Amino acid sequence: VLLSSFNNNSIVKIASVCGVGSGRRSLSSRNLQNQSWQIEYEVTQTFTCEVASCSSPADAARLSTIANQVSTSVNDSLTSGQFAVMLRANIPPSSGINQTILDCLVVWGTISEARTEVDGPRTGVFYPDWQYQSGTCLEDGNEPLYMKKNDVWLFSSLEGCCSRFYSGWNFNKCMNVRGSGLWFVDHMNEKCVTDCKDENGGTCGGLANPLSDRLYSDPKSCCESELAYRFKDLCEAESLQSNCYAGTGKFYSGGVGGGEYCVRDCDPASGDSTCGGLVEESYVMLHDSAEACCQAEYQWIDVELCTVRSNQTRLEKYWPDKTNSKCYKDSENPTVDLSVQIFDTASECCKVGIFWLSENECLSASGVTPEVTAG
């Protein structure tokens, strides 16, 4: 999937999926739709060092150049959306993932610092990098002699070393110089952002403050915990900067936006006249159908009348116009007063709703021919 700009000496592989070694998990339509997947890619490029330890200035410069090329290429592909395009193109049809999910796939990520491996794996010993002031702990076996003589400087894990020498605001940078790629809340913009430097664009919101910013594995968890007053699905979509969110399609009280009946959780810009706007607040009660919404939210309105208004359909029943002493068929002359009583027939409407006139007088005024019963 990654990066056509890499040269022939580059090897790109998936190192892990959700923390598990590659090859042990597979994508499926169901879990891709409902989960966030953390996939770790590893880019390896081989070159010949000037000295055996790869520690000469020329070697350092070479490593820096390669790292910058890889970092820039990956970051550009994430920011431009090209990474997502390539990822979609490389998911096989056998995965069973439908096209809608692929079209709405959102990708975010961070890029780790480059490291060299000379003649074998890393040492497993971490020490603070005072010499180059990188702001993190190194594991390259090049710790100064005074550190080797006193193991107070040495730790078996990056976390232990960072906790000891880079506490407070510096801890998160020590653990993840470019950011962890996890999510934290941006209260000012009422959404969640990724722990990565602002200049990386996309969902990045700057490096998180380890003292005040709680990190989450996905934006939905962040929204639920930190922005509980916001409707979580919309909060998640805005955090991901996704244009695919179209609302739940369920019904809610139109009174939220000044309406007189139920409306659907969707964007009116879609052209659907039943849409009342995307629900933004978590307190808004959603209902599976217009009828259920009307029964719960508009008990003073005839359920059938409320339902047809909410669904933007026609009601072939009658309502009494007491001012003008006649009955109207709602499909022909819709009532403005939604509190009126609704009747199945014009005759019933006249008998009950316009009772001060005879039935025939009311029917005649209403433009309805009375039924003649032979006797």
DSSP state of 286: P
Q: Quick one: pLDDT at residue 236?
A: 93
pLDDT value at position 20? 54
pLDDT digits (tens, 9 = 90+) for 45-91: 777 887 777 778 887 788 888 877 887 787 777 777 788 787 777 77
What Å distances lie between residue 318 and 28, 339, 344, 363, CA to CA?
52, 13, 6, 12
Amino acid at 333: N
Q: Which of 250, 344, 331 shows the shortest CA–CA distance to 291?
A: 250
Q: Decide if 244 contacts 237 (C-beta within 8 A).
A: yes
With 50 as the cut, is the pLDDT of residue 30 above it? no
- Position 248 scores a pLDDT of 94
Report d(CA 201, CA 163) in Å as an integer: 29
Q: How far is the C-alpha of 5 from the C-alpha of 1, rounded, in Å?
A: 12
Q: What would the mean pLDDT of 298-310 be, rounded to a whole number?
A: 94
Higher-confidence residue: 224 or 100? 224
**pLDDT for residue 226 is more than 90:** yes
Q: What percent of the chain has pLDDT over 90?
A: 46
Q: Indicate if the pLDDT at residue 18 is higher than 70.
A: no
Per-residue pLDDT reduced to its tens digit, 335-347: 999 999 999 999 9
On average, the pLDDT of the chain sits at: 83
Confidence class of residue 114 from pLDDT cuts 50, 70 and 90?
A: low
The band of 282, judged by pLDDT with boundaries at 50, 70 and 90, is very high
In DSSP terms, 321 is beta-bridged to 326
Cα–Cα dist 97/30, whole Å: 8
Token representation of residue 72 = 């820039």
Greater model confidence, 95 or 252: 252
pLDDT tens digit sequence for 119-172 = 445 678 999 999 888 778 998 889 999 999 998 999 999 889 999 998 876 787
How far, rounded to the nearest angstrom, does the alpha carbon of residue 328 sit from its chain's CA centroid? 48
Question: Has residue 332 got a pLDDT over 80?
Answer: yes
Give the percent of the chain with pLDDT over 70.
85
Backbone angles phi, psi at 308, to 5 degrees: -70, -35
pLDDT at 63 (0 to 100): 81
- 218: pLDDT strictly greater than 50: yes
pTM for the predicted model, two decimal places: 0.66
Q: Which residues contact 16 (CB under 8 A, 6 or more apart)?
A: 22, 39, 40
- Mean pLDDT, residues 169-177 taken together: 76
pLDDT-based confidence at residue 211 (cuts at 50, 70, 90)? confident
